[in-house]
Structure 1
Amino acid sequence: MTDIPAPSFARYSRITGTGSLLPARRVTNDELAAELGARGIETSDEWIVARTGIRARHFAASDVAASDLAVQAARHALEAAGRRASDIDLIIVATSTPDMVFPSTACIVQQKLGVHGCPAFDVQAVCSGFVYALTVADSMIKSGAASKALVIGAEVFSRILDFNDRGTCVLFGDGAGAVVLEASDRPGILASDLHADGRHVGILCVPGHVSGGQVLGDPLLKMDGQAVFKLAVGVLESAARAVLEKAGRSESDIDWLIPHQANIRIMQGTAKKLKLPLDKLVVTVDEHGNTSAASIPLALDVAVRAGRVKPGDTLMLEGVGGGFTWGAVLLDF
């Protein structure tokens, strides 16, 4: 990688392109309920919608990896930014469902994009992963360590779902979202706020690992839904208020709230606490389900391509996930 000269001006980072990719297979609640019914597990579209707001999700084919989704989302973001893959000097992938134990999914994405030499690594903060990754990329750009970054969230959560547990298997889906983040003399990312509390490791986890060629423990997702719900609303509000304070902005400055798409009740609850009308809330959970680290960039790209999010808008991105992790980013688009 060539040396990047120290900036001679106030250096910021801005999103210049967005992209996303959903697997071709769309699974409605009715279809999933029929599959679960064959296993003797009762659920219904009404039950799922009432509790989550989810009506459908996408599942990747068995031969499609997180890196495959990530590469396509990245290409869409590069096209939107008017950049080539060879222009990129940093790749960060947020994922909890990597292709391999190692190397990182980011290195696999780098290889599939046909570039080499720049830093490439994964960030693992589960559903907060994209917010974490965006914050890291912003810091590296501001320091002069990078100038054009690909920041990607990509997940194939269908691989780690327990389809005998209707409380979790109906919630999640697969997908990827990406942004190109570039150095600028104009502020883009205004402030970020990241947190974790390991005391809550057990409320959302996949308690398995590989040892000696065998899977030890349980390799499927486990969640205490009530505990997650109670924590989520409170920490999302506090993180949002923290970034507003850091940026010297107020709730009224927010044009769009783009939260992690986990549960419509959590999302609406956060909007209300911030005194935001629900028409300022970007919602894709109904069609995507919870795509973990991919959910925020997926929702962002959907809103951009629909013409809702426009240049100059102020966006609040926020996520909460296993760890227990949470965070928020405030930015001018």
Structure 2
Amino acid sequence: MFSADRVLPVPPPYGVVVLPPRRARLLSNAVHLPPQYRTMEQVRAGMVAAGSPFVPPPGTLENLTGVRGVHVRSDDVQASDLAVAAAVKALETAGASIGEVDLLLFASTSQDLVEPATGHIVAAKLGATCPVFDVKNACNSVLNAVETAAAFIETGRHRTVLVACGETTTLTTRWHVPDHETFMRHLPGYTVSDAGAALLLAAGPAGPEDPGVLHAVFAADSSAWEACTVLSGGSMYPRSTDDDHYCLRLNENQLSRTGREMARLVVEYAPEEMALVRESAFVAVHQISMPQFHEACTLLGLPRSRFLATVDRYGNAASASLPLQLALAQQSDRVMPGDVVALVGLASGFSMGLVLIRL
């Protein structure tokens, strides 16, 4: 006799093929940095050349941020070009062709145009014919794109996904500074760096020790959206010529307070994932300055040896920051196949994300 507390397996409908569990495997990760390098002293010289009423004393930028210089694109290089350069490297490293990619995601704070999606421009330059769309969530854009790609792969919607990023954030640097208060409000714009990044993910088996994206956890406090902004280019200020609208600006008190709260929430409400973070071989965390990097290490409660500081040499590479750290760790053999790495993202808006990947 049938018992109500006994659950019987339900066979799939006739003709439906049940796929085995799949995991999004990271086949390759690549970064492209434009060759031009701008030191913080050259930033000061740029303010002088712009006739800025306020120019900080020598060493101020280095002392406040711990950043020595940033990479800067040439005037004729677009966000899509940086993304394409990194994507070509990622495909070559994986031994794959663009024809094998069945979804392309452009993930970046930057873009070539308001319309169309920059992903189409990247696809055209690569010769891709697959579907494309943009993923945009400030400096968590790449991390959210990895989450999106993993979800598509795990459900069988796509097999191979290329995430491409092109950051041209030096366009948000403010050169004409009327006073010290304005300088401090726009301080993050002096340490942002242009960069390209690309990650190629493909379907693989999902066994206990198989490589791939293991976990993805995200949280947001959107009431803090004004903490860090670039105002122009949207419906609020579509054609503004005000420097305050075109340049990156920061409400540091709000950003710091919200960042600490978001970190606390992730630590408290994602205990399983945080346990894996503590056991991981390497932790990449979004970096906007050296003081913020040290604070992030402290908040995560892990030794500095598990991290890699990059913002001092390369500046804040926005959403390319995490791929950059992972690429440098891979190049220096700090991580090996089979290692679990944690990518911890922080973004204005305000959002925080954590993705765990077994290489």
With structure 1 as the length reference, what TM-score do the two structures score?
0.90
Report the equivalent of 1:286: 312
Report the equivalent of 1:188: 212
1:254 deviation in Å? 1.7
1:223 deviation in Å? 1.2
Distance (Å, rounded) in 1 between the aligned partners of 2:144 and 2:269: 15
Report the equivalent of 1:19: 30
1:202 deviation in Å? 1.2
Q: 1:157 aligns with which of 131, 154, 169?
A: 169
Distance (Å, rounded) in 1 between the aligned partners of 2:214 and 2:263: 18
Query: Secondary structure at the residue paired with 1:207?
Result: coil
1:250 deviation in Å? 3.9
CA contact (8 A) 1:16 1:180 kept: yes
* Superimposed CA distance per residue, residues 231-276 of structure 1 (whole angstroms, 9 cap, x where no aligned partner): 224423543665551x584443121110112122222222223332
For 2:355, the aligned partner's letter is V
Distance (Å, rounded) in 1 between the aligned partners of 2:152 and 2:58: 44
Distance (Å, rounded) in 2 between the aligned partners of 1:252 and 1:274: 9
For 1:261, the aligned partner's letter is Q
Distance (Å, rounded) in 2 between the aligned partners of 1:110 and 1:229: 37
CA shift in 2, pair 1:293/1:252, >3 Å:
closer
For 1:258, the aligned partner's letter is A
For 1:48, the aligned partner's letter is L
1:169 matched to 2:189? The reply is yes
Distance (Å, rounded) in 2 between the aligned partners of 1:111 and 1:248: 40
Distance (Å, rounded) in 2 between the aligned partners of 1:6 and 1:133: 28
Query: Secondary structure at the residue paired with 1:20?
Result: strand
CA shift in 2, pair 1:243/1:80, >3 Å:
farther
* Superimposed CA distance per residue, residues 2-49 of structure 1 (whole angstroms, 9 cap, x where no aligned partner): xxx966322001111111111121001121122224434333563323
For 2:259, the aligned partner's letter is A
Mapping of residues 70-85 of structure 1, within 5 Å: 70-85=83-98
CA contact (8 A) 1:192 1:243 kept: no
CA contact (8 A) 1:251 1:276 kept: no
For 1:177, the aligned partner's letter is A
For 2:233, the aligned partner's letter is H
Report the equivalent of 1:312: 338
1:69 matched to 2:82? The reply is yes
Report the equivalent of 2:246: 219
Gap regions ≥5 residues in structure 2: 1-15
Query: Secondary structure at the residue paired with 2:356?
Result: strand
Report the equivalent of 2:139: 127
CA shift in 2, pair 1:268/1:90, >3 Å:
same
1:197 deviation in Å? 2.2
CA contact (8 A) 2:230 2:249 kept: yes
1:236 matched to 2:260? The reply is no
Gap regions ≥5 residues in structure 1: none
CA contact (8 A) 1:244 1:330 kept: no
CA contact (8 A) 2:65 2:289 kept: yes
Report the equivalent of 1:59: 72
1:214 deviation in Å? 6.0
How large is the Cα RMSD of the aligned pairs? 2.3
Report the equivalent of 1:179: 199
* Superimposed CA distance per residue, residues 269-312 of structure 1 (whole angstroms, 9 cap, x where no aligned partner): 22223332111102211122112111111221122122222211
For 1:22, the aligned partner's letter is L
CA contact (8 A) 1:13 1:181 kept: yes
Distance (Å, rounded) in 2 between the aligned partners of 1:273 and 1:248: 12
Query: Secondary structure at the residue paired with 1:153?
Result: strand
For 2:252, the aligned partner's letter is G
Distance (Å, rounded) in 2 between the aligned partners of 1:115 and 1:231: 40
1:208 deviation in Å? 2.0
1:43 matched to 2:56? The reply is yes
Q: 1:106 aligns with which of 119, 122, 126?
A: 119
Larger Cα Rg: Structure 1 or Structure 2?
2
Give aligned pairs, total: 326
With structure 2 as the length reference, what TM-score do the two structures score?
0.84
Q: 2:302 aligns with which of 258, 268, 276?
A: 276
Distance (Å, rounded) in 1 between the aligned partners of 2:113 and 2:94: 29
* Superimposed CA distance per residue, residues 66-102 of structure 1 (whole angstroms, 9 cap, x where no aligned partner): 0000000011111111111111111111112210111
1:159 deviation in Å? 1.5
